Amino acid sequence: MQKRILIVDDEPAIREMVAFALRKGDYDPIHAGDAREAQTAIADRVPDLILLDWMLPGTSGLDLARRWRKEALTREVPIIMLTAR
C-alpha cells in the first residue's frame, strides 16, 4: 500500500508541484487548501505524513500543528512545515 501524504498549502501551484514529485516517488498525495479541508482529509483516512504550510488562510500552520499534536488521531503523524518565504 502506498504511503499517503497530506499536502496542506493555500497555493494550488505549490500543492500540484509537491504532489507531482511525490507521485514520482510512488506516494499517494492528497491535497488541502486550508485547515477545514485538511480536517476533512484526515477524517477520511489518517495520512502517514503531513506537509504543512507555515501560513494558511484563517489560521497559522503552526497553530494547526499544535492542535493536531493534542488529538489522539494525529498525535503520532509526522509533520514537516513548509514555507515559500
Nearest to 31 by CA among 80, 21, 85, 18: 18
φ, ψ for residue 80 (rounded to 5)?
Answer: -115, 125
pTM: 0.94
3-state secondary structure of 82: strand
> Which amino acid, 63?
D
φ, ψ for residue 7 (rounded to 5)?
Answer: -105, 115
Quote the number of domains for the chain. Answer: 1
Which residue in the block uniquely carries the three cell numbers 494547526? 64
Residue 20: CATH number of its domain? 3.40.50.2300
Residue-number span of the structural domain to which 13 is assigned:
4-82
pLDDT in tens, the chain (85 residues): 899 999 999 999 999 999 999 999 999 999 999 999 999 999 999 999 999 999 999 999 999 999 999 999 999 999 999 987 7
